[in-house]
Amino acid sequence: MNLTQVYRFIERMNLLTAVLVVFLLHLVLYLVLNTDDWLLATVSATATYALVFALAKTYVRKKRGVR
C-alpha cells in the first residue's frame, strides 16, 4: 500500500461514521474494564480520535488540492 492509496482512503472516509464507531468501541471497552468514569473516558478518547481524523482529512485535502 503506497501513500497515494492511504490519502485516497482518508479522503473518502466518512468522519461521522468513523467517530461513531470509535465511540462505540471505547464505550464497550471502558464498560468491560469496569472503569468508574466510563463516560468521561469514552468522550475524551472519542474527541481525541475525532480531532486526529479531522486534521488528517484537512491535511490530505490541502495536499491533494481538493476543497
Q: Evaluate if residue 1 carries a pLDDT over 90.
A: no
pLDDT in tens, 17-53: 999 999 999 999 999 999 999 999 999 999 999 999 9
> Mapped to the 3 state alphabet, what secondary structure does 20-65 carry?
HHHHHHHHHHHHHCCCCCHHHHHHHHHHHHHHHHHHHHHHHHHHHC
Q: Which pLDDT does position 47 carry in this prediction?
A: 97
Q: How high is the pLDDT of residue 4?
A: 87
SS3 19: helix
* Burial (CB count <10 Å: 0-12, 13-18, 19+), residue 42: buried
Q: Cβ contacts of residue 47 below 8 Å, gap of 6+? A: none
